Amino acid sequence: MAIEDRRVDATAFDRVRFVLVAPSHPGNVGAAARAIRTMGFSRLEVVAPREPGFRQHDEALAFATHAAGVLQAAGLHATLAQALAGVRLSLAMTGYAREFGPPLADLRTAAVRVRAHIELEPGDVAFVFGAERNGLANDDIERCSACCAIAADPQAASLNLAQAVQLAAYECRLALVGGGIDRRLTPFEAEPPASHERLEGMFAHLEQALVELGYLDPAQPKRLMSRLRRLLARAQPSDAEADILRGIAAAIIQRRAERVGRKGGR
């Protein structure tokens, strides 16, 4: 099945930053590094963390599985303003609208806005996340271009910091490249569909076997073979798979003939 080609230039991923403001736990910083790396991003910026040496912290390294490079390259900043240098679109991640903050949008809508900005406007984009316990302060939110919320159950809407980063990175990737996944076909999936001749021989063999079993009445076939054709058309059997079905049919026919032969010899 063809997948819609929505890819942008590869450098688009380099224009997206994930900014953590005052994170308390080094493990969350490491997990955030892993979260963005799995989605193809690499720019992590950390503002005034409780643990300034988070890059070498054992817990951060443990949670940054396969993303140690992102963790080591993370920027360390004293203020949010420093982390947003060069950013033209900043999205404050918050669960609710603030009285004096920018308008609130859902994450998926915001991700579409990110793609449009990258395609049409200069400058970087940043998703900005607050501390684990209290989130972003009002002053930090007012420095951002927009507010962004993750749709969640209002009765239990709180997410772990790294989980929120993962969702934002996923939605941003989805907006930039679409929902297709790249994967290698297994040897079985790589086999081409059976030829027309092979399939017709298979159906003839199957029909004969069903008649021998008494399951198909040639005088009143109804639509049995038509339905069987439709079922197997959805499966798109390969030559080898068609041969397997023919082999099953041949075994049925042979066994039926042997039984008839034994009865006739009595």
What's the confidence (pLDDT) of residue 72?
97
Non-local (6+) Cβ contacts of 75 within 8 A are: 43, 44, 45, 46, 83
Which residue shows structure tokens 């609130």?
104
Which residue shows structure tokens 């949008």?
105
What's the confidence (pLDDT) of residue 97?
65
What's the confidence (pLDDT) of residue 103?
78
Q: Is the dihedral of CA 65, 68, 73, 78 positive or negative?
A: positive
Question: What backbone torsions phi and psi does residue 257 show, to the nearest 5 degrees?
Answer: -65, -40
Prediction pTM value: 0.71
pLDDT at 257 over 90: no
Tokens of 169: 């990175």
Stronger pLDDT, 129 or 181, i.e. the higher one = 129
User: What is the chain's length?
Assistant: 266
> Domains of the chain by range and CATH?
10-177 (3.40.1280.10), 187-264 (1.10.8.590)
Per-residue pLDDT, averaged over 18-23, amounts to 98
Tokens of 54: 């988070």
The pLDDT confidence band at residue 4, using thresholds 50, 70 and 90, is: very low
Stronger pLDDT, 262 or 246, i.e. the higher one = 246
Stronger pLDDT, 72 or 155, i.e. the higher one = 72
* Secondary structure class of 184 (helix, strand, coil): coil
Stronger pLDDT, 20 or 10, i.e. the higher one = 20
Distance, in Å, from the CA atom of 242 to the CA atom of 230, rounded to the nearest integer, reads 15
The pLDDT confidence band at residue 244, using thresholds 50, 70 and 90, is: very high
**Percentage of the chain surpassing pLDDT 90?**
65
In tens, the pLDDT along 38-53 reads 999 999 999 999 999 9
The pLDDT confidence band at residue 6, using thresholds 50, 70 and 90, is: low
The pLDDT confidence band at residue 1, using thresholds 50, 70 and 90, is: very low
In tens, the pLDDT along 189-200 reads 678 888 999 999
Strand blocks (E) in 42-136: 43-47, 75-77, 87-93, 104-106, 124-129
Nearest to 149 by CA among 115, 178, 111, 179: 111
Q: Which of 127-131, 232-236, 254-258 has the lowest mean pLDDT?
A: 254-258
In tens, the pLDDT along 118-164 reads 999 999 999 999 998 888 998 999 899 999 999 887 777 678 999 99
Largest CA distance in the chain: 98
Q: Which of 9-13, 141-145, 167-171, 224-228 has the lowest mean pLDDT?
A: 9-13
What's the confidence (pLDDT) of residue 28?
97
